[in-house]
């Protein structure tokens, strides 16, 4: 089974919110689940997979400034702050630190919704406080 992990972090790259989807599901179709768990924030940094007009509108309604580059297939290019977008590496570092846990990196568990996600939450709890 192929799974994809979506995460929300704070400005320091500490994990705040997770949810898991099937690997073949597009990022922006499942982004609505991420909206509910967002804490009050000034900026939202995300990769091209989260580029959708409805997602941009929902974030602007919440008063969150966007830093999401447009998809390659978008007809009209989207402007974004490239300097701020470079800080997205903290999110990638958080995923790398999660993969320091062998159980998370190798995905030995057969039941992703229960055991694997519980292992991710346990690792994220430890990472948050380190």
Could you state, in order of their start, the residue ranges of all structural domains in the chain? 3-129
pLDDT score at 83:
92
Task: Specify the higher pLDDT residue, 1 or 42.
Answer: 42
Give tens-digit pLDDT for 74-121: 888 889 999 999 998 888 999 899 888 887 777 766 676 778 888 888
* C-alpha torsion sign, points 51, 54, 57, 59: negative
Q: Which residues are CB-neighbours of 99 under 8 A, at least 6 positions away?
A: 105
- Nearest-CA neighbor of 16 among 94, 106, 99? 94
Helix, strand, or coil here: 51?
coil
Expressed in angstroms, the distance from the first to the final Cα of the chain is 31
Which pTM value belongs to this model? 0.80
- Superfamily of chain region 3-129: Ribonuclease H-like superfamily/Ribonuclease H (3.30.420.10)
Rounded distance between C-alpha atoms, residue 56 and residue 13, angstroms = 22
């Amino acid at each position: 089974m192929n799974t994809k992990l979506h995460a929300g972090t704070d400005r320091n790259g500490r994990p705040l919110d997770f949810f898991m989807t099937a690997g073949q599901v597009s990022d922006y179709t499942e982004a609505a689940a991420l909206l509910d768990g967002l804490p009050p924030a000034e900026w939202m940094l995300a990769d091209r997979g989260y580029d959708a007009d409805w997602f941009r509108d929902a974030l602007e309604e919440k008063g969150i400034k966007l830093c999401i580059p447009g998809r390659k297939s978008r007809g009209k290019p989207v402007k974004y702050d490239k300097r701020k977008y470079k800080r997205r590496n903290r999110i990638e570092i958080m995923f790398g630190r999660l993969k320091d846990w062998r159980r998370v990196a190798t995905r030995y568990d057969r039941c992703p919704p229960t055991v694997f996600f519980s292992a991710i939450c346990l690792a994220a709890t430890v990472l948050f406080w380190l």
